[in-house]
Amino acid sequence: MVLDRGLVFMSDTRTNAGLDNISTFRKMTHWEVPGERILTVMTAGNLATTQAVISLLDERTKAPDDREPSLLKAPSMFQAARIVADTLKDVIAKHNKNGQQAASAFNATIILGGQIKGGPTRLFLVYPEGNFIEAGEDTPFFQIGEMKYGRPILVRAYEPGMSFEEAMRLLLVSFDSTLKANLTVGLPFDYHLYSDGSHELGKNGRIGVDDAYFQTVSQGWGDALKTALDSLPTFDLD
Amino acid sequence: MVLDRGLVFMSDTRTNAGLDNISTFRKMTHWEVPGERILTVMTAGNLATTQAVISLLDERTKAPDDREPSLLKAPSMFQAARIVADTLKDVIAKHNKNGQQAASAFNATIILGGQIKGGPTRLFLVYPEGNFIEAGEDTPFFQIGEMKYGRPILVRAYEPGMSFEEAMRLLLVSFDSTLKANLTVGLPFDYHLYSDGSHELGKNGRIGVDDAYFQTVSQGWGDALKTALDSLPTFDLD
């Protein structure tokens, strides 16, 4: 999500290969040169694909002089997005070409956001086809994965001027709506709050199953929604 | 939706064969023998399939002595559900077997609700495979079609004891969340409020684009949601 003050990232950690095979994996990754660049990537889709993409991107940053192209050497966010997109496309193509056909597709979608010194803070959505779009004023946030349940509250309540504290509350309510309806999304949630112009990793952490604040929001939201409904006039049957 | 006082049905009227081919069709149908039985059917999915199913069911009610099985002669809601389910299954099978393969599936899903004298009010969800499930205390409402956006508010705010006026407000807010996010759902909406034990068509009608009440709810809901969010504590960054 793009705010006036920076970027807010949040991802869940639930992965599944069927209802009887549920695991927890981190879906958020950072690459940082403090004071110069910070890149945050979130992934959704086939876990083998997304882990391969992250590993490839990461290996190249470990020895950036030997291996090209590296996210740490990309001159702009746009070029960084191209690197991520090409890597994603190549990994999917490789899985699709060789060996046994899988029942499910190897597709994955990626959100990339961050800032590189000399350029603005930018947020991209990368498609499995290897192309990507950028967030703008009219579409200031992206969702990937199981997105429909949590979308209505984002559409209604997002405001570019909101604080990080307010944005976290909004995202947790949005995720909670999905939690209540769908087994493929689960706690804990990872988050990262990037302050525009800082060029370094911002406040970040993990919200676990026992998190007191999340419990308050989740339980309070049901009552708050009912109060909101009651504030509207009822339908007139006559 | 099953309430203590009866059933509430609501359906939109948008159908599409691609983004550039959008039309308005009624998706709610009633069969009634006043004082003896009332059956309401709502459909989602392939329009050719659902129209064929409705036409077949309707033809058999026009001359029930000549044509079996007729919804007007079904001895119970369970038997009525079997008739609807068998008809749906047969229509899909016929389309799939003969002639040109279509790009999209011929699938459709149906909600059937009502009451037949001597039995309780019941609500069924009929799958394209020809089997069906019934609503119960734990799952007191069904959604078909584009259901994810509107689900969170139903899960949170449904109460079996609510009035018809409150239920209409809830359903309109739920539909509005989908309207805001998805082009495949559109006004006008048809509704039917069935009073348990009446065995006749209840209050019903259509909510159009210009409906003043819907405008009030749609515009008021955005503000009400923001107020609801603000009633929760913000995230503590320290």
The ipTM estimated for the assembled molecules is 0.86
Label residue A183 by pLDDT band (50, 70, 90). confident
In chain A, which residue's Cα lies nearest the Cα of B159?
A226
Check CB contact under 8 Å for A169 and B225: no
pLDDT value at position A69?
86
Q: Is residue B153 part of a domain?
A: yes
Hey, are the CB atoms on B231 and A231 less than 8 Å from each other?
Answer: no
- Asked if residue A231 belongs to a domain, the reply is no
pLDDT grade for B238, boundaries at 50, 70 and 90: confident
Burial of A21 (0-12, 13-18, 19+ CB in 10 A): exposed
**Residue A227 with chain B: CB contacts under 8 Å:** 228, 231
Cα–Cα dist B234/B238, whole Å: 12
Q: Is the pLDDT of residue B153 over 90?
A: yes
Contact between chains at B228 and A227 (C-beta distance less than 8 A): yes
The strand ranges marked E within chain B are 2-3, 6-11, 14-16, 22-24, 28-33, 37-45, 108-116, 122-126, 132-134, 189-195, 203-207
pLDDT at B104 over 80: no
Of B148, B163, B236, which is closest to A149 when you measure between CB atoms? B148
Cβ proximity of A107 and A45 under 8 Å: yes
Q: Is residue A71 predicted with pLDDT exceeding 80?
A: yes
Nearest CA to B70 among B102, B116, B11?
Answer: B116
**Is residue A235 in a domain?**
no
Three-state DSSP class for residue A211: coil
> Do the Cβ atoms of A228 and B221 come within 8 Å?
yes
Residues in chain B closer than 8 A to A180 (CB atoms):
152, 155-156
CA distance B223 to B216: 11
A117, pLDDT greater than 60: yes
**Helix, strand, or coil here: B200?**
coil
Name the residue type at position B81. Answer: A
Name the DSSP letter for residue A155. H
Taking a C-beta distance cutoff of 8 angstroms, is the pair A110, A88 a contact? yes
Contact B234 A193 (CB under 8 A): no
Q: Is residue B121 part of a domain?
A: yes
Total domains in the fold of chain B: 1
Cβ distance B30 to B193 under 8 Å? no
Output the domain CATH number for residue B211.
3.60.20.10
Neighbours of B45 (CB within 10 A): 22
Distance, first Cα to last Cα, chain A: 45
pLDDT at residue A67 above 90? no
Residue A134 has pLDDT above 90, yes or no: yes
Q: Residue B236 falls within a domain, yes or no?
A: no
Q: Does B237 reside within a domain?
A: no
pLDDT at A210: 93
> Does the distance separating the beta carbons of A237 and B180 come in below 8 Å?
no
Q: Looking at beta carbons, which residues of chain B come within 8 Å of A172?
A: 235
Indicate whether A237 belongs to any domain.
no
Nearest chain A CA: its distance from B153 CA (Å): 8
Q: Which residue of A has its CA nearest to B227?
A: A228
Q: Is residue A87 part of a domain?
A: yes
Helix (H) or strand (E) holding A183, with range, is: none
- Please report residues of A whose CB lies closer than 8 A to that of B170: 229
A102 pLDDT higher than 70: no
Chain B residues lying within 8 Å of A233, measured CB to CB: 169, 213, 216-217
Q: The domain containing residue B119 runs over which residues?
A: 2-230
What is the rounded distance in angstroms from the CA atom of residue A60 to the CA atom of residue B48? 54
A149·B149 Cβ contact <8 A: yes
pLDDT at A97 over 90: no
In this structure, are residues B16 and B146 in contact, taking their beta carbons and an 8 Å threshold? Answer: no
